[in-house]
Amino acid sequence: MSSRRFQNVLPLEVFIRRGQVKSAYRQLFRATRTCADLDLQREIQQHIRDGFRRNLHVSESHLIKPLIKEALTHIQMVKDLCGASVKQHVEVSDRESWLEEKDEVDTRGRVGEGWPWESSISSNDSRRSS
């Protein structure tokens, strides 16, 4: 009876490879979440789906390994691509930042000229401890 029970169980190597493929797929989709441009995000996600569907029939381990490695390198490419669109978006908003304003009196609490640890108080304290 126990032999019938385990009749449809996948071999361990196939089970592990399947998990690696699913993990790569999920990581690729997570990497697209940082895209500021929704059209770019959708295009990348469709490209990911197409690539995985194109290789759906591959079942031999020696063919799957390079495909997983390729997917893992694409994760970094997607992060860089989406990160570049986020950085571009941030740069546009930074132009309107208060950092570019020139004020005579700075009420925003920014540090003035000189280093804080070179003040007369800190140099007196260091002479006392010597």
Q: Which residues constitute the domain of residue 72?
A: 14-93
pTM, two decimal places: 0.58
User: Is 124 domain-assigned?
Assistant: no
User: Is 40 domain-assigned?
Assistant: yes
Is the pLDDT score of 53 beyond 90? yes
Work out the pLDDT band at 89, boundaries 50, 70, 90: very low
Tokens 């950085």 label which residue? 87
**How many domains does the chain divide into?**
1
User: Is 52 domain-assigned?
Assistant: yes
User: Is 123 domain-assigned?
Assistant: no
Could you tell me which residues come within 8 angstroms of residue 18 by beta carbon, excluding any fewer than 6 positions away?
Answer: 10
User: Is 41 domain-assigned?
Assistant: yes
Top-confidence residue, 4 or 42: 42
User: Is 80 domain-assigned?
Assistant: yes
User: Is 44 domain-assigned?
Assistant: yes
User: Is 54 domain-assigned?
Assistant: yes
